Amino acid sequence: MSKRSTEELETFVASKAPFGKPDQNDELLEREESIGEFEDPWEDEFESESEDIIEDTEAASDNENAMEIEESADQVYLPGQELGKDEFLEADQSVYEMLHSLNVKWPCLSFDILHDSLGEERKMYPATAYIVAGTQADKPKNNELIVMKMSQLHKTQNDGDDSDKDSDSDDGILDENPILESKNLKHYGGTNRVRIMPQRNCYIAATWAETGKVHIWDLAPVINSLDTPGRQISQKAQKPLYTVESHSTEGFAMDWSGTVAGRLITGDMHTNIYLTTKAQSTFTADRIPFVGHTSSVEDLQWSPVEKSVFASASADQTICIWDIRSKKKAALSVKAHEADVNVITWNRKVEYLLASGADDGVISIWDLRTFMNNRTSPTPVATFKWHSAPITSIEWSPIEESVFAASGSDDQISIWDLSVEHDPEESSHKIIRKGGIEVPSQLLFIHQGQNDIKEIHWHPQIPGCMISTAASGFNVFKTISV
């Protein structure tokens, strides 16, 4: 994953209003305007009467121009098409059940979603989400680890429709702007990646700092302070529980085990992978790394079922499968892409499916049962070349086993469903984007509107809801497609 340059950060600062006015407890409360319902500039359609005889040549010309404009307004924009001089993109609110934009003081490279006690499979509005994110500030000393509470995330698809208030809103208010509350912890150096331990009721987070250190935090006191007005965060709670100092340089790869609580793997830009484990009241970091990659370790994923197995992705174009009982060599290593492998995601519903995204924009789906040995290269069960720039994030849906989403440096978030099969008989109805690239049948949705998208996550307790982080802030959205 690439960072944002100093020039990009300066541009970000210049274009942003202040995040909010912190009170004496450094609590930030922000009410951001959501991405509202956009109006069609050609809403008043021009209707011509075919039986009327227009004798005035100038009127007839105006009539033809109006019809042409109306026709173009109905066209769906596809990435790759050039916009005209006076053209710009507007979100079609009819395809979003919910769409909100929330701004922050500094852009965040990475974030993770906190499991809350508000219930599973929530479908009522307004929604609430808790996340933790790490900043990329202009100076190392200005960085923070931010715990955020996003509330009043109302349904935007039917904004202004009084008939929907009673059924979809607890308070009958649909035009209330979302509220962003936060508590901040000082974090020296930018956060390359942040991950939450997946076990329930355990708010332990790990941050990969650009200083080359991995910090482990207990966020429970921070969340309690966020939810309880007036409650202070103790000095002890504002510092890391433990710091991993095994690495000699910074990195991005990191993952907590879902099968063994407190087991963490981290990978750096010098090819090394280290294991850290929880030992009673503290953590213990290994000093002997897993070795095998020949370039930067970009991403790591634990097996959802095997306690001792994890996968790694590297800039050396390979994906490796490891057993923690053997550090000197990967159990399996396959050349997966023709470019750096930036990200991977292990399907939590179908344990043998792995998805990967590369620097050339290619997404591949792998059946791990074909990873037989190191002498043969398996063929992915599916490959998609839709994105025109590096894939920056990829994640399977926690609810739908065939659905995943990916983000790219081309400012797109794509949502896919592998259960959709290609139908040759419908080829005449396919949409072709500029350059003759066919829209794959499995591509359900394209979300745009953010700049420099770095990471995406599905909310595990709100089906179909996604959160993304970009240079332009956070988007929280739910489409009608998933």
pLDDT single digits (tens) 419-453: 998 766 655 445 555 556 688 999 999 999 999 99
pLDDT score, position 175: 52
- Pick from 472, 473, 469: nearest CA to 1: 469
pLDDT score, position 425: 62
Residue range 108-115: average pLDDT?
A: 98
pLDDT score, position 355: 98
Neighbours of 335 (CB within 10 A): 12
pLDDT score, position 423: 66
- Whole-number Cα distances in Å, 118 to 201, 232, 460: 12, 23, 12
pLDDT score, position 29: 35
Of the listed ranges 62-71, 131-140, 295-304, 421-430, the one predicted with least confidence: 62-71
Residue range 7-31: average pLDDT?
A: 43
- Burial label for 189, CB within 10 Å (0-12, 13-18, 19+), is buried
Q: Is the dihedral of CA 236, 204, 138, 180 positive or negative?
A: negative
Q: Would you say residue 72 has pLDDT above 50? A: no
Banded model confidence at residue 402, pLDDT cuts 50, 70, 90: very high
Task: Give percent of the chain above pLDDT 90.
Answer: 70
pLDDT score, position 77: 74
Q: Residue 169 in contact with residue 123, Cβ under 8 Å?
A: no
Of the listed ranges 41-50, 96-105, 285-294, the one predicted with least confidence: 41-50
Phi-psi region of 158 (alpha: psi -120 to 50; beta: other; left: phi over 0): alpha
Full-prediction pTM beyond 0.75? yes
- Kindly report, residue by residue over 330-354, the tens digit of the pLDDT: 999 999 999 999 999 999 999 999 9
Banded model confidence at residue 87, pLDDT cuts 50, 70, 90: confident
Residues for the chain: how many in total? 482
Banded model confidence at residue 5, pLDDT cuts 50, 70, 90: low
Q: Residue 30 in contact with residue 180, Cβ under 8 Å?
A: yes
What's the chain's Rg over C-alpha atoms? Answer: 24
Residue range 49-65: average pLDDT?
A: 46
pLDDT score, position 270: 97
Across the chain, mean pLDDT equals 84
- Kindly report, residue by residue over 128-174, the tens digit of the pLDDT: 999 999 999 999 999 999 999 999 999 998 654 444 444 444 443 34
Instruction: Measure the CA–CA gap between 187 and 201, rounded to whole angstroms.
Output: 24
